[in-house]
Amino acid sequence: MDIPASVAAAARGDQAAWDALVRQFNGLLWSIARAYRLGDADAADAVQCTWIKLVEHLDRITEPERLAGWLATTARHECLQLLRRAGRLPEPAEEIADSPDPAPEVDHELLVGERNAALWRVFERLPDRCRQLLRVLMASPPPAYAEVALALDMPVGSIGPIRQRCLGRLKALVRGNELLEGRS
Amino acid sequence: MNDDDFLDLLRAAADEFDPVPAGVMRDASAALALRALDAELAALVESEALVRGDGPVTLAFESVRVTVNLEIDDDVVRGLVTGAEGEAVVETPRSRRAVPIADGRFTATEIPPGMVRIRVTAADGTPVVTQWAHG
């Protein structure tokens, strides 16, 4: 996708070009809002505010190739503002240990149902910081590390190692789960 | 299974259990129509919100011709305007409400939560719109 061309066309009022940008980045913005644990209404609000701010800036975007980073940063600000207004600022990030927690006992509930449902439930049990990073990385289409770094205010170089540790933790939670075990 | 493949599985789970809602896609698409090409922009120059709770938010906007001071308290928007007269239009992404400006002041009630901006007409006839701000 030629993002600078789409931005230029959208700035001229081309709805199709704008919709292409929305399709490309709305998944990332929604994932960022969910990574900050916003509920349905607040997440929708944060995403809409981000797009409205882009509309306001369309004529003044000097580096359209950095649009994804701009959107990620703006979405983070919107999420933090909503959390601040609601009086629930995010907790300070906990350290992410290298050694995973011991695998939990087999959860029989997980033995039924679809693999994705089981995986989703296991994912929701991750510690906050891991859940937050992975939720952004799970956006469709997959975001670049640079955008993930801006969305979560993390150094870009830390994302690869933390991703590895968090996926390791998740794999440990999956271990012993019959439904998922065959695939890991 | 390597990490990339595992993350792809997770992405499939997220697509199924926490997809972008259709309404969020529609709102994002509709945002382009909110451009105010015809109007002079009054930029946000000051914003003050209580750190916690539901207290009022105060905002100040300035353009070349107009200043707008807003106090947003729940669903009530009160404004103090200089350089414009007639009516003020309180806009949200989904609604518009026109209220008269009297002695430089206006009040609009039952404004839906979320983003708002104000449209006024400067004394020389130039349309002016404030930046969007969070109520």
Q: Give the CA distances from residue A8 to residues A62, A72, B15, in Å, rounded to whole numbers and listed in that order.
A: 11, 20, 30
In this prediction, residues B58-82 reach a mean pLDDT of: 94
End-to-end Cα distance, chain A: 33
Residues A53-64: tens digit of each pLDDT: 999 999 888 899
In this prediction, residues B20-40 reach a mean pLDDT of: 94
Residue A182 has pLDDT above 80, yes or no: no
Task: Find the CB nearest A52 among B1, B18, B115.
Answer: B115
CA distance B68 to B83: 9
Q: Which of A39-48, A114-123, A154-163, B110-119 has the lowest mean pLDDT?
A: A114-123
Q: Residue A99's pLDDT band (boundaries 50, 70, 90)?
A: very low
Buried b (16+ CB within 10 A) or exposed e, A19-54: bbbbebbbbbbbbbbbbbbbeeebbbbbbbbbbbbb
Backbone phi and psi for residue A126, each to the nearest 5 degrees, phi listed first: -65, 155
Handedness of CA A102, A103, A109, A114 (dihedral sign): positive
Do residues A76 and A152 lie in contact, with contact meaning Cβ atoms separated by under 8 Å? Answer: yes
Do residues A77 and A29 lie in contact, with contact meaning Cβ atoms separated by under 8 Å? Answer: no
CA distance A94 to B60: 38
CA distance B42 to B88: 14
How confident is the model at residue A159, as a pLDDT? 97
Residue A103 has pLDDT above 80, yes or no: no
This prediction's pTM = 0.85
Q: Residue A101's pLDDT band (boundaries 50, 70, 90)?
A: very low
Residues A126-156: tens digit of each pLDDT: 999 999 999 999 999 999 999 999 999 999 9
Q: Which of A52, A166, A171, A180 to mutate to test the interface with B (most CBs of B within 10 A)?
A: A52
Mean of the per-residue pLDDT values of chain A: 85
Q: Do A47 and B28 touch (CB under 8 A)?
A: yes
Candidates 3.20.20, 3.40.50, 3.30.420, 2.60.40; CATH matching B39-134: 2.60.40
**Dihedral angle over CA of A117, A123, A128, A129, nearest 10:** -130
In this prediction, what percent of chain A has a pLDDT beyond 70? 80
Q: Where are the domains of chain B?
A: 1-33, 39-134
For residue A29, give the chain B residue with the closest CA: B20
Q: Using DSSP, state whether A112 is helix, strand or coil.
A: coil
Q: Give the CA distances from residue A58 to residues A8, A12, A14, B32, in Å, rounded to whole numbers and listed in that order.
A: 8, 9, 12, 9
Q: Do A53 and B14 touch (CB under 8 A)?
A: no
Retrieve residue A77's tokens: 């600000």
How confident is the model at residue B54, as a pLDDT? 62
How confident is the model at residue B53, as a pLDDT? 53
Residue A111 has pLDDT above 70, yes or no: no
Do residues A3 and A68 lie in contact, with contact meaning Cβ atoms separated by under 8 Å? Answer: yes
How confident is the model at residue A140, as a pLDDT? 95
Q: Residue A34's pLDDT band (boundaries 50, 70, 90)?
A: very high
Q: Using DSSP, state whether B87 is helix, strand or coil.
A: strand
Q: Which amino acid is at B96?
A: R
Backbone phi and psi for residue B79, each to the nearest 5 degrees, phi listed first: -130, 150
Strand partners, B100: B87
In Å, how far from its chain's centre is CA A156? 15
Task: Find the CB nearest B3 among A84, A135, A164.
Answer: A164
Task: Find the CB nearest B28 among A22, A58, A135.
Answer: A22
Q: Which residues of B touch A13 (CB under 8 A)?
A: 32, 35
Nearest of A156, A139, A169 to residue A28 by alpha carbon: A139
How confident is the model at residue A28, as a pLDDT? 98
CA distance A179 to A167: 18
Element (H, E) at A115: helix A115-124
Q: Which of A151-155, A176-180, B41-45 has the lowest mean pLDDT?
A: A176-180
Residue A96 has pLDDT above 60, yes or no: no
Residue B60 has pLDDT above 70, yes or no: yes
Q: Which residues of B touch A15 (CB under 8 A)?
A: 29, 32
How confident is the model at residue A177, as a pLDDT? 67
Residue A95 has pLDDT above 80, yes or no: no
Residue B55 has pLDDT above 80, yes or no: no
Backbone phi and psi for residue A85, each to the nearest 5 degrees, phi listed first: -65, -35
How confident is the model at residue A89, as a pLDDT? 59
How confident is the model at residue B1, as a pLDDT? 78
